Structure 1
Amino acid sequence: MRIAQHITSDGSAIITPRIARWLEQNANMTADRRIRLRDTDPEAYVAFAALHLAACRSDCGTSQVAAQKNTTQLDMWLSTKQAAKALNVTDRCVRNWCTTGRLHAQLVGARWLINPSSIALHQIA
């Protein structure tokens, strides 16, 4: 196999699912680490998300990739800034409500993700 066959015209590398799995395992790239990259380095987030999808498709004889949170489901949840705007309060207030359980939220890495239905219930009350 020639190395040049795995390089595209823009200089990107083509990675097989088996190699994507190996890279993901050896880089210890978790779903939380990928999600944190969305705001700080979107290009890296897209690259690692693509590697993860390729790794999941691998049908080689190596061990399976560990189950991770479904990021498409997490994309539907709101950031603290979005929730604060919807509730007409500060971002700090929303984080406090998340910590105390007043809002239904999940802590993913260092970010709170707020369930939109929790915002709707809070607006009614």
Structure 2
Amino acid sequence: MKPQIIKTDGGEELVVLTRRAYDALLARAGDEDAEDRATARLAEDHLADEAEGRTATVPHWFVKLVAEHDSPVTAARKHKGLTQAGLCAVLGISQGHLSDIERGRRSLTDEQRRQIASATGVEAAWLVD
């Protein structure tokens, strides 16, 4: 996700983030309340998935990687030890394109999701932001 930057009349730059991104930033800085909010959000998402018949349980180790890297694609790539260039070769896309996907500027196609899952050993369902 790309943050929005707003410049005040006085020239100061303000950064607008989603609550999820803000909590992830605070959690990485050691804020336990932010970690609790992120955990609660994951639990709510999981319960909603179960209520709708979707049961894509994501293991704790992957959730931690996503929290560290802000992107499930980056987390999967790092898990496998791939560079961006290495994953680009698998996907047949440019490094700039992959960077845009990892930063939330572009969405994955279903085919790219399957290719990344196959190349990294994670479940395709985990690669949804």
TM-score scaled by length of structure 2: 0.28
Computing the radius of gyration from Cα coordinates, the structure with the larger value is: 1
TM-score, with structure 1 as normaliser: 0.29
